[in-house]
Amino acid sequence: MNVDYLIIGQGLAGSLLGYRLIQAGRRIVIIDPAKENASRIAGGLINPVTGMRFVKNPNAEVCLSHAKRLYQALESTFNTPFFLEKKLLRFFKNAEEKAAFNKRKNDPAYQPFFNHATQDNTQHADFTCPFGAIEQRQTGHVLTARLLVQLQQFFISHNSYQKTQLHYSDLIVENDAIQWRNISAQNIIFCEGYHGAQNPWFSWLPFQPAKGEILTLQSTLALPKDMISYGSWLIPEPKLIFKIGATFDAKNIDCKPTVAGENSLIRALAEINPRLGSAEVVAHRAQIRPCTRDKQPFIGRHPQHRRLFIFNGFGAKGCLEIPWYSLLFYKYLTTPSASIPAPANINRFYDSHFTG
């Protein structure tokens, strides 16, 4: 079987890139063991303004517009909702955070992302926020697990899916093609999430994986209709289900849920709403984010093997960033004059690893 692209990994990165390539008439095979991954358990939150200093993602506008366009196109193709636009109520954790917001709020670049009216209330329904809150706009969440199951079916129906783990030693990298089992591919694209740190061709890239734990809870009380950010985040779902997350641990890189992780998430929730803090935990999951040292994606071509590519490093922001970067990367792969933005291009690390 001859294909244009062999894609390794069916997380959000491999899935959205693979979808774009198939839509453009390219032949692909995507390989994945179909186990739990970061994309499937993610909260799916899209929030372009984050952190204690309320910093806007430098590509916020373009990322948001491409994310909405792609998720909505997928919704109409598969006739299923994947992206729910919801406001985000951001509780100030302390006076410093509130002061940081007050500095930002008059910046014209930030105007479309805030509704200023809510900031002095210290009580929102049953939630307490002693320092007040701000309503963020242009936020929402992606139903990632549903989307990935749907795209898996799509790849299967296009004879473009193999449920297995790739062993690097089974790949034969030749000048004119890549051979794997009965497949001859013109190119291979690694979209392996945090596993990329072990990839023999790309392990020189400075990955900084970070574990995250997330809880799903069943409430007996009414839930807010907006999402809430309070150091952690809360995402309300139908039938009184809600998710809270996520912990951030750069030391223990394993996928085991921990008692300490659960306790810290519950404690933070109980501080803003003690009654909700005693809701029943119905699921507790842990996975690893593919974070990078300079917090920018790893996209590009291997400097010595021209048929090898990587599309990875989306850290904690995959839902917002992958739609736009998958479009740019698809153009780079298929149009000779197209390029990858410098901050995301892996050629920024060539000099320190490949001299002479």
Question: Judged by CB, which is closer to ligand FAD: 79, or 167?
Answer: 167
| Cα–Cα distance for residue pair 245/212, rounded to 1 Å | 8
Q: Is 185 in the site for ligand FAD (CB under 6 A)?
A: no
Contact between 45 and ligand FAD per CB under 6 A: yes
Q: How many Cβ atoms are within 10 Å of 13's Cβ, its own excluded?
A: 32
CA distance 25 to 162: 19
Q: Least distance in Å: CB of 240 to ligand FAD? A: 20
Phi and psi at 150, nearest 5°, equal -65, -45
Number of residues that bind ligand FAD (CB under 6 A): 40
Q: Which two tokens stand for residue 229?
A: 């950010």
DSSP state of 53: T
Work out whether 11 is an interface residue with ligand FAD (CB under 6 A). yes
Report if residue 229 touches ligand FAD, rule: CB under 6 A. Answer: no
| Helix/strand/coil for 118 | helix
**Dihedral class, residue 60 (left if φ above 0, else alpha if ψ from -120 to 50, else beta):** alpha
Contact segment (CB under 6 A) with ligand FAD among 3-11, 48-56, 179-187, 221-229 equals: 3-11
Helix (H, G, I), strand (E, B) or coil at 298: strand
Query: Exactly one of 140, 224, 257, 290 binds ligand FAD (CB under 6 A); which one?
Result: 290
According to CB under 6 A, which one of 14, 132, 209, 261 is a site residue for ligand FAD?
14
Residue 195 in contact with ligand FAD, rule: CB under 6 A: yes
165 binds ligand FAD (CB under 6 A): yes
Q: Is 323 in the site for ligand FAD (CB under 6 A)?
A: no
Q: Of these, 3, 8, 188, 265, which contacts ligand FAD (CB under 6 A)?
A: 8
Out of 21, 41, 64, 265, the residue judged to bind ligand FAD by CB under 6 A: 41
How many Å apart are CA 203 and CA 182, to the nearest integer? 27
Q: Is the separation of the CB atoms in 15 and 78 below 8 Å?
A: no
Q: Does 269 bind ligand FAD (CB under 6 A)?
A: no
Considering only residues 29, 191, 223, 265, which one is a binding residue for ligand FAD as defined by CB under 6 A?
191
Q: Cβ closer to ligand FAD: 29 or 134?
A: 29
Complex with ligand FAD: residue 302 or 317, whichever CB lies closer: 317
Q: Whose Cβ is closer to ligand FAD: residue 110's or residue 180's?
A: 180
Q: Tell the smallest beta-carbon distance from residue 67 to ligand FAD (Å).
A: 10
Count other Cβ atoms within 10 Å, centred on residue 202: 20
Stretch that binds ligand FAD, among 18-26, 79-87, 275-283, 318-326 (CB under 6 A): 318-326
How far is the C-alpha of 318 from the C-alpha of 314, rounded, in Å? Answer: 5
Phi, psi for residue 49 in degrees, rounded to 5: -120, 110
Query: Residue 324: how many CA atoms within 13 Å on its side-chain side?
Result: 21
- Comparing CB distances to ligand FAD, the nearer of 215 and 279 is 215
Percent helix, strand and coil across the chain, each to the nearest 5: 35, 30, 40
Whether the upstream peptide bond of residue 286 has omega within 30° of 0, thus cis, is: no
Which stretches of the chain bind ligand FAD, using CB under 6 A? 8-14, 31-33, 35, 37-39, 41-45, 165-166, 191-193, 195, 212, 214, 245-246, 287, 289-290, 312, 314-320
